[in-house]
Amino acid sequence: MIAIHQSESSECALASLAMVANAHGLQLDLFDLRRRFPVSIKGATLQQLIANAGALNFSSRPLRLEIDELAQLALPCILHWDLNHFVVLKKVGRGHITLLDPAVGERRLPLAEVSRHFTGVALELTPNAAFQPADQRQRVALSALTGKVRGLKRSLLQIFAVAVVLELFAIAAPLLNQLVVDDAIATHDADLLSVLIIGFALLLVIQTAVGLARSWMVMLLGQSLSLQWASNVFAHLIKLPVEYFEKRHLGDVVSRFGSVGSIQKTLTTSVIEAVLDGIMGVAALGMMLLYSLKLSAVVVGSVLIYAVLRWVAYRPFRDAAAERLVVAARENTHFLETLRAITPLKLFGREQERRARWQNLLVEVQNRDVRTAKMNIGFSTANTFVSGAENLLVFWLGAGLVMQSGTAGATGGVASVFTIGMLFAFISYKGQFSSRVSALINYAVEIKMLSLHAERLGDIVLSTPEANELPANDLAHLEPSVELKGVSFRYGEGEPWILKEANLRLEAGQSVATRVRHENRENGV
């Protein structure tokens, strides 16, 4: 069960409902729930949450309880939090609970702190007889995120072709080690050594030139794509209705828009590199197998261990990255709003209050960074140990093969030849294979992490824009009046009607005030 972060400031109820539904096998996302159950800027009430859960075929059981009774709840369930928020209770332990907070992510809190936030209201959700597990999540296509991009395929093919030429030089380089050691040094042939060095020096010059051309092409493609993609997304963003911006924090919108850059960088570099690393990894493995099956098995085993470690670490890294984006967006919002309201803040002497609040938000961001750094340290340490053990084992077994080959040759026995030059060449290919496949695994994880940025950017590009503006007309001949016929208005689904089938006509110069009473409350229009 993973956390789903709310996109709007008032949709914690929808996010909590989605998390509980996902835990029962009904895979939902906020895009779909937002369309089915619109929520006003005031948020959803418990009654609305129960109605929405019923529409998803859940039976609801609202409860009032004390802190020591949390362990008796059917998990996962929804808790009312801080009088204006909903969270999901994931686990109850000894002296602590684990929450999935739509605003922050997964949290582990001691019961003493829970008592300061929990209002005593919980909602258990149980699938009824009509409930059917399904995957109703909306897949976000790349074309929907970025729009049309001119020249993308042609540029990618050109970069790929140049990169293939570059990699051919890299796969031939280890042969120099073997030729120098086994042919030039062993026979004391200075002329052969000179020829080899000159030949590979020419290859080095060509390789450097090709690498420069590739880097230049990647730079140009990145700039072109960045401009086109950012322009497409921004054009869509400014067409969204005002309600979209009213329900979201400014920093969160900026953070989501910034995901364009992360996606563009990954697609223009990581995808090409991943394909090339896969091809070159297979080529390096083939060369290794020509030298020694035993040594190749050791190297492949080490890479498989790295792949398992990387896969196990994926979910914690993704959750940490998601939480970091959310808290960083909140910190950025506070910073921007402080600058925008600096004049009234100074007039009322509230600078220190804003500074303290911003500092607390910055500490939250740094805490997420420390958490990620700790995971990186653990993962890097494990990888260093595995890599070091692989090198020791390859040197040990490889040196044994060289000694066995020399002993067999001296005694006239029959054995496969494995020279010192072959060992050096194998180690070079081993380095290429390990680095290529490790990079391929990293790129695969990086590409998979794109789903995080795709979900965040999808909140912008998948939102329905306003209808196109009508062309400008000459309105001078029209009578300046406003007429309403059968107009109804309320702030959100489930909210009371402010206007219901209203009919009204206002002539030029008229002013009308309307008072609406609802449940002992008055609204002025």
Q: Which residues are catalytic?
A: 12
The dihedral sign for the CA sequence 418, 422, 423, 429? negative
Q: Can you read off the two tokens belonging to residue 6?
A: 């709310």
CA angle in degrees (0–180, nearest 5) for 27-28-31: 155
Q: Can you read off the two tokens belonging to residue 208?
A: 């450097």
Query: Packing angle between helix 293-340 and helix 420-461, nearest 10 degrees?
Result: 30
Query: Please, which residues have CB within 8 angstroms of residue 214's CB and are 6 or more apart in sequence?
Result: 159, 162, 163, 166
**How far apart, in whole angstroms, are the C-alpha atoms of residue 404 and residue 407?**
5
CA angle in degrees (0–180, nearest 5) for 276-279-285: 130
**How far apart, in whole angstroms, are the C-alpha atoms of residue 397 and residue 293?**
11
- Report phi then psi at 413, rounded to 5: -75, 175
- Report phi then psi at 133, rounded to 5: -60, 140
Taking CA atoms, 113 is separated from 68, 87, 196, 230, 308, in Å, by 13, 15, 72, 43, 37
- Report phi then psi at 87, rounded to 5: -135, 165
Query: Please, which residues have CB within 8 angstroms of residue 194's CB and are 6 or more apart in sequence?
Result: none
Secondary structure (DSSP) of 90-132: EEEETTEEEEEETTTEEEEEEHHHHTTTEEEEEEEEEE-TT--
Query: How many residues are recorded in the chain?
Result: 525
Q: How many CB atoms lie within 10 A of CB 216?
A: 12
How are beta strands 118-127 and 77-81 bridged, if at all?
antiparallel
CA angle in degrees (0–180, nearest 5) for 453-456-457: 85
Q: Are 70 and 48 in contact (CB under 8 A)?
A: no
**How far apart, in whole angstroms, are the C-alpha atoms of residue 329 and residue 78?**
25
- Report phi then psi at 137, rounded to 5: -70, 140
3-class secondary-structure state, position 257: helix
